[in-house]
Chains A and B, each alone.
Chain A
């Protein structure tokens, strides 16, 4: 596979790879590094790529595995991922609750989900994959994907309503 052909097949989903990596690794820098690392891996294995009938799903699986490995390495080093998304609640209480604030709240709620649900939400609601594709990427049955997805969506909605009511009263 030549470089041009390679780029033509793998570049269209680079943003999806990056967004999934960011969903799992939280920090933008780490997600960028992971994306670059992943494309390097794909390039090294470029001759084997043709064996896979769905290269995008294969790349997404690789992304998932790579990021989970990274997370595991971080945890065994006793390092916690630091993210600067914490906000000062006193300030946001003083202001009216803006839409932007609650969008950020959604982000935090998704961050708190278990990794599997996080990935499924990302793949379905952000990247619009079909259940079968998600199943292929994550190595799950489509029904299992639906169950986890439903659970994740309900959790987020409950938390949102809870926070909303708390804000009013």
Chain B
């Protein structure tokens, strides 16, 4: 049940007005209705949507949309720019205290992911900032919350300060600060209990901790799936403890994450990090422009490119480019490419990041067949080195042997060989076309192997 992105939504409206050549103000109004729908479906708070749409439609009418020959694209661009703008132009780094230790307090509702984020953030601070964090288990309410933080601490070999559950969180924090001074920790991270923003007693407790610890950063941890209520939560926490930043968690899910915009507009505090997986290194800086695309359902090309860059070996890419150009590309190289793609993660997740991928009917259910990928691998691996280098020598007998060795059929072997040939031809054409060659050229037609 994929929700339509803004672009697709506008498409419908545009079809109605197509042929008119230009659009009038009423058409812009109609388009703004679609913008409103798209944002509400992305869980942006209604009030926020309202003021947003007002701003955008003023811009749209004032600008060239009326004159533009591609009014839809123009509107999408205005919306996207405005969203990016609102969510905070620049990235906001962590504020460290001038005098150690830097105290970071994690607050939020139950189940938002505070403890997990505490572990991830500690990992990041140690790795990228060379810090020596102390984690403080201040959740004395939820069963086994302390054990959870201790387990994480053990996994990460980061010390955890705890005093059990029979002592007040404020006292735990007081003792932890002493410990941090003695042990020369330069970062103290306080993992507080999840609480409802309307629970006065527990909100007072947060205030007490804050007055004692005087944190340099108070991070509100918010589930990216949060709906309309995100504004109430953010507002209350901000008013009570004065948050300094937001961490948006569970963005590896398929939610649009409109809460990001809601929170940002009621608190005016930057979103500093996003949680993108269960592993301890799955915490990334927040990029407003990517979030804007996501809220609008337009795919996340930047993340895709980054993922590719992180996993593709620069050297190998150059080598491959050379092979493309000189037409010495073999099945071995192909296997190599295959494995690199695999390293980037599950294919269907990659596909979902692609713009327009949600437009393709049936993609939602059509799993990219990773098994099929394994079969292609098996076929190539069942060939001798000579066969891989010069596939022309593969005759009927060899085909039979390869099929048998890989547990596939002769048809499958044939199909692979044919597709490999087609690809070679295509590469030849392409390299003729652009003699100079493009940097990091990706394998064309790779996708046809998995259909």
Q: Do A and B come from one complex?
A: no
Which A residues have a C-beta under 8 Å from some C-beta of B?
none
